[in-house]
Structure 1
């Protein structure tokens, strides 16, 4: 019976694919390919290629396009993926049809006239018509290995796991064989208020294949596929802004052709084909159907321009469907998003499909809720959400799983027990987290093992942390380091405990003895276990021996009264002295006339950090940030120096502030802006002043000046500005010869103004002459990013203060990183 069911289900499928040509041998893009007598069909891509799949059995396919004779082909088998089809010109049609090729006119173009009507009627369509709305949402995320062939199946990588290839299938959009490796489902209710401009999503259930308790993995996957509104000017995903073919910016980026008029689900609609005006830009190609009365989108499909400057993504395909309610209301009912991740963009390159299917149902309107209903709670973790029964899922799914999707759960449950898979999974965990798991203890971070500086020479470091689960209420961490040149051991030890989940009230304490580069940052957080520039910089320019030896002890309380708003109250005691007395001095004149080289200092501090838009996972004492560098940061700090407490040396007050904001400027790339300011009130020595951070390494350091040396400028009052803009290849994509390299243009500007008081100058007895940038110091940079898709190189130029001794007028810095 099982065999009969299996072969019966296989027989009830039709899969066809191939390429459509004209009589001259040129491929035909945007041709219609359908199963006759059905609504199942597709269009060829700009290479004339198509793939069409149905769960039903069909015996023919039909190919049609304006200006060509319709062609019907008999299917000799239910699966044939190598069709080469030639269609003939239809001279009768050609007499009456204008065939568009290349760039289309923006004037007297009926497609663009319809597009303008879409813009005019946008606010009359969809959810924006109502004060409040709510709906049910079902989301299914799947990842698949693609381009499965005999070479992959016989690869030594899968030795012992060959059974997984029994679960391979064929993509309905590309015709490639793929192997499902991950699936995640979620059910939620979405509430929104257009008057308050607020929206809230309550997740009711979540499950996935084998990683149900891994909230970080789930959050990272979901963050890849953010919801999009096709009416916006730009569609943002993969940290990029694609020009929407429906938005107002589309008219300058796309060619539009009115191809057909027909009824779609009983609504008379126009069919418009669009394709990019230029290569290399973040654009799509495809078509959409728009209702002729309301000018609301009925259906749309979008395939990303293959020459678009996006790393690690070979193809992007999006479909959206809208349902008509009450003859005029169009609401989205289905959203399909597929991406093909690969190291190379060649057709034969293997990779991973990422597929998201989102269904929407049970729309309700004008049910007002109080404003505090939309306020996000600091801790909204409910374990029951991740442990719903199969009966619950069967009753509440908006779309049943097909046989292949159900098998993913079975296959991965089996795979988790495989020894080789466990080893591969452990390697992936180490690369992702930086820690090696040993029972309830993690060894690492592995990326901090080696370092080098002029005081310690080669430095090695080893450490670890307790780890029972991602939601641990307490954690102990520590490390031990050794420098081969100074023959000294260093260490750090920290512990923290989450006292209250609702407010995230946390207590933390620690102690650290180590070598530190105090001039690396204006805003110090007194993080006991933070990696210092001294310990992590392997390559420097010039001498980096101006290092300090510190002994730091801290204790603090933190809490979040509102989501992403954190307050921290803490105290610290530290001793600071030079780590290299032959080269560097921190000496100062004491009140009794003696010269002292060590600072003993007690402090109380209150900090506020606000990070709107930050996404995190896990709900224990530690959380993982999902969308790093994609949200603004507002930071404010007040510190009080306590003279006499534990033999502390100085009384002073210090205030500091910075604001950093990433801005997506439409199709012109991303700008990151940072403003920083601070002032110290009172008499303090060099170790407690605000040293403008220079950069003597060969790596880009956020907040530092690349042409400035360590301790070149010293202040007790300062303000800085940092601007860094990435054009994402907008310029290079227009230059012949550079289009295929996917390089990205970078420009930057940095400036600082500062002063220092006479009394702070007077107590200086170090070997550093205080100089404050009272004439605004500035530098500017140009760079190239995305070299080999991982490397960025910047050339920085010093704008002034060039006559100072050892002034560096020019600096080359670089950085490595993986990004889309």
Structure 2
């Protein structure tokens, strides 16, 4: 027994000794912290660079005996490591005595004789000759692990009342190999898949073979959050999208405009000569990284790269982002990505000691095969590929498929989360987060909400209360019922709406839908049709509005139809609608002259609708009748054809209407994102005001998408129109160059909106309403705006100026509108 204990103790000691941890701060002779200093273990590629405050932390799973500290223009330091753990080191660098005899590259390093830039140019020339780009087709196996951890755990944190009754979770506290901070794993998700790609046709498909979750697999909003945070990126691209921000890649062709590059070392890695280049940002406040990379001589392919965002990058609630990628050589010449690790340190405050949460994604790639062509239909099939069996793979599957085994702490997450799910306090926290994310309160299999639509106000209803909800058994429900009721205290009337959606075939997403709504609505608030029978514009009941908001209509709408998605993100829909419209106000009229010359105030209309909705690159979560978008930065083309049939169900008019919407966010070379939206339409036939295309005004004090901020409701009436909205988000690029303002993290918006339209003589002739038909046909109506976003990290304010038609009654020359939202 005694020998056994000695063996165990010796083994434990060797394990401890086989790990080396170092950390500290690097300063110059004037005691000033030195950022971007290279710190690495001698004769290895394991290293980091110091942060903006000169601090560093480095850890190796192997025993290391020498730490090298190196910076251009200073003497290298070779620091012996006598202990396994060497923290709180204080290192002083001294200027090199040979400064007068060598060239030092500091500040701007875009000089022609900078060897680092010579290497960078060779990387650009060969980037499409390396990796998967070298082959026509490719396939590989992929294993992905996503984990969330509470960090900066200390004794005071453990005693917080928030964790009362959950103290057992602190048994799993560990230390980060990257930051040296203590952390507590609270969530883990694993996914195994096979990836197929065709570089010729630029198609890609991922087939999931297994997914394992530690307790939130049925929470659609948490899963959407995970997918939104960790999209794929290619370090060879000019820009890397993280948290909806476009960071300049250190390998970008425009990198020399925003980075400094320094060649610091050469070494043989796996028998091949490699160069080490350190890079760091030239200016503060820009979306850039700092770090280093190793590049292979000859192929000029990246062997290993480390990237950490600048501390003052304009991104909310993120203290750090760290990326590490490793590449292995294939066939003695082609380097392929084999490991991709991304870690984000979330925190409300930027203070290093404040509590926060790590979000980590680690992806491994192996079993590469090339030039095995597959038909195009292979990539476009399986619109709805959900298979419940894949979500319940046994432990044996994961033991064989994990490219890297889980640590003991990670294994314990599954057990710990199982216990936490039974904890009432923990479930309360989860429910609160879900409510904020989804706008619904879950009560059993019923969701109450949307809660932020519970209150409203307009001139007809006065103060309005709304209560509603939907069925919810899980994110993959094959059917869903939804309904609401509302009451206006001024008009003393109840309103209601009810709808249902049923998936008849999950493979093609063949869905039947039907519903009925009786309500008060501002029908002049949108050009493109709202496809949801319960959809109601924000303009109908904004709590705060300017001017007259009495031009509302009573609507009774019944709709039934089918939709199908034969190809991914390409949806066809057909529906039959019947609606009655009449004015909800004694001061507003929808009147028209009938064939006998009599004035009619009520409109009865049946309509057949056919639509096509194409959303390339749209990503969603869930496979049920309703899905959640991962983000909204995808292009959209929407076409709608409406046919009014007189006499059908007592319908009053014959007409045909075509409508088109096109929206496409565009990255503009590191200068932010331009989002153009175009809407166009034409009505063939004679129709009254209730069926016309009204250019949407906005009399609320809040920003409404695709509406004109300085235009009043029913100011412009058309039966053919085209509208253009251009908005550019600079994402703080301009403010980041202004001292004093830079620290506020503000973001700049500019834009212009315009609309042209006309109305036929026939439609003017039947108008018996008290609304004059004025169309912007002589000149294009336009308005322009500037905006400041990220005020207090949640508020955006736009100032809009009206460009023309200032002679119109009650025309507003200038106005300020706001919108609240939480964005990274």
Asked if 1:406 is matched to 2:402, the reply is: no
Aligned residue for 1:620?
Answer: 624
Matched position secondary structure for 2:241: strand
User: Cα distance 1:255–1:65, how it changes in 2: closer, same or farther (>3 A)?
Assistant: closer
What do residues 40-94 of structure 1 show as CA deviations (whole Å, max 9, x unaligned)? 4444334321112234556765545563253424445x44532223345564x65
Asked if the contact 2:48/2:292 (under 8 Å) is kept, the reply is no
Aligned residue for 2:823?
Answer: 819
Asked if 1:605 is matched to 2:612, the reply is: no
Asked if the contact 2:521/2:536 (under 8 Å) is kept, the reply is no
Asked if 1:537 is matched to 2:542, the reply is: yes
Aligned residue for 1:350?
Answer: 355
Aligned residue for 2:278?
Answer: 273
Higher mean C-alpha displacement, 23-32 vs 256-265: 23-32
Matched position secondary structure for 2:414: helix
User: Cα distance 1:526–1:274, how it changes in 2: closer, same or farther (>3 A)?
Assistant: closer
Q: Residues of 2 paired with 1:739 and 1:615: CA distance?
A: 34
Asked if 1:284 is matched to 2:289, the reply is: yes
Asked if the contact 1:459/1:535 (under 8 Å) is kept, the reply is no
Q: How does 1:162-201 map to 2 (within 5 A)?
A: 162-201=167-206
**1:119 positional shift:** 1.1
Q: Residues of 2 paired with 1:622 and 1:244: CA distance?
A: 36
Aligned residue for 1:83?
Answer: 89
- Given the alignment, which residue of 747, 769, 785 partners 2:772? 769
Aligned residue for 1:115?
Answer: 120
Asked if the contact 1:184/1:218 (under 8 Å) is kept, the reply is no
Aligned residue for 1:517?
Answer: 522
Asked if the contact 1:339/1:353 (under 8 Å) is kept, the reply is yes
Asked if the contact 2:220/2:628 (under 8 Å) is kept, the reply is no
Q: How does 1:41-120 map to 2 (within 5 A)?
A: 41-56=47-62, 61=67, 63-65=69-71, 67-75=74-82, 78-88=84-94, 91=97, 97-120=102-125
What do residues 433-472 of structure 1 show as CA deviations (whole Å, max 9, x unaligned)? 2222222222212111111111111100101112222222
Q: Residues of 1 paired with 2:618 and 2:197: CA distance?
A: 20
Matched position secondary structure for 2:574: strand
Matched position secondary structure for 2:116: helix
Q: Residues of 1 paired with 2:56 and 2:23: CA distance?
A: 5
Q: How does 1:197-596 map to 2 (within 5 A)?
A: 197-214=202-219, 217-525=222-530, 527-581=532-586, 583-596=587-600
Q: Residues of 1 paired with 2:640 and 2:5: CA distance?
A: 68
Q: Residues of 2 paired with 1:94 and 1:785: CA distance?
A: 46
Q: Residues of 2 paired with 1:189 and 1:526: CA distance?
A: 36
Asked if the contact 2:106/2:260 (under 8 Å) is kept, the reply is no
User: Cα distance 1:528–1:173, how it changes in 2: closer, same or farther (>3 A)?
Assistant: same
Gaps of 5+ in 2: none
Matched position secondary structure for 1:754: strand
Asked if the contact 1:280/1:733 (under 8 Å) is kept, the reply is yes
User: Cα distance 1:742–1:32, how it changes in 2: closer, same or farther (>3 A)?
Assistant: closer
Asked if the contact 2:218/2:474 (under 8 Å) is kept, the reply is no
**1:101 positional shift:** 2.9
User: Cα distance 1:82–1:736, how it changes in 2: closer, same or farther (>3 A)?
Assistant: same
Q: Residues of 2 paired with 1:101 and 1:526: CA distance?
A: 58
Q: Residues of 2 paired with 1:714 and 1:404: CA distance?
A: 65
Q: Residues of 2 paired with 1:188 and 1:642: CA distance?
A: 51
What do residues 491-511 of structure 1 show as CA deviations (whole Å, max 9, x unaligned)? 001112111112211111111
**1:808 positional shift:** 0.8
Q: Residues of 1 paired with 2:609 and 2:282: CA distance?
A: 56
Q: Residues of 1 paired with 2:5 and 2:464: CA distance?
A: 63
Please give the TM-score of this superposition, normalised by the length of structure 2.
0.95
Q: How does 1:616-695 map to 2 (within 5 A)?
A: 616-627=620-631, 629-695=632-698
Q: Residues of 2 paired with 1:417 and 1:12: CA distance?
A: 39
Q: Residues of 1 paired with 2:67 and 2:276: CA distance?
A: 21
Aligned residue for 2:754?
Answer: 751
Aligned residue for 2:740?
Answer: 737
RMSD of aligned Cα (Å): 2.1
Matched position secondary structure for 2:670: helix
Asked if 1:20 is matched to 2:23, the reply is: no
**1:527 positional shift:** 2.6
User: Cα distance 1:90–1:704, how it changes in 2: closer, same or farther (>3 A)?
Assistant: closer
User: Cα distance 1:659–1:622, how it changes in 2: closer, same or farther (>3 A)?
Assistant: same
Matched position secondary structure for 1:121: helix
Asked if the contact 1:516/1:533 (under 8 Å) is kept, the reply is no
Asked if the contact 2:539/2:698 (under 8 Å) is kept, the reply is no
Asked if 1:799 is matched to 2:811, the reply is: no
Asked if the contact 2:304/2:324 (under 8 Å) is kept, the reply is yes
**1:286 positional shift:** 1.2
Asked if the contact 2:248/2:670 (under 8 Å) is kept, the reply is yes
User: Cα distance 1:213–1:546, how it changes in 2: closer, same or farther (>3 A)?
Assistant: closer
How many residues matched? 816
Matched position secondary structure for 2:664: strand
User: Cα distance 1:2–1:803, how it changes in 2: closer, same or farther (>3 A)?
Assistant: farther
**1:210 positional shift:** 1.6
**1:488 positional shift:** 0.5
- Given the alignment, which residue of 160, 164, 167 partners 2:165? 160
Q: Residues of 2 paired with 1:43 and 1:617: CA distance?
A: 38
Higher mean C-alpha displacement, 128-137 vs 97-106: 97-106
Q: Residues of 1 paired with 2:823 and 2:5: CA distance?
A: 46
- Given the alignment, which residue of 713, 717, 738 partners 2:716? 713
User: Cα distance 1:422–1:60, how it changes in 2: closer, same or farther (>3 A)?
Assistant: same
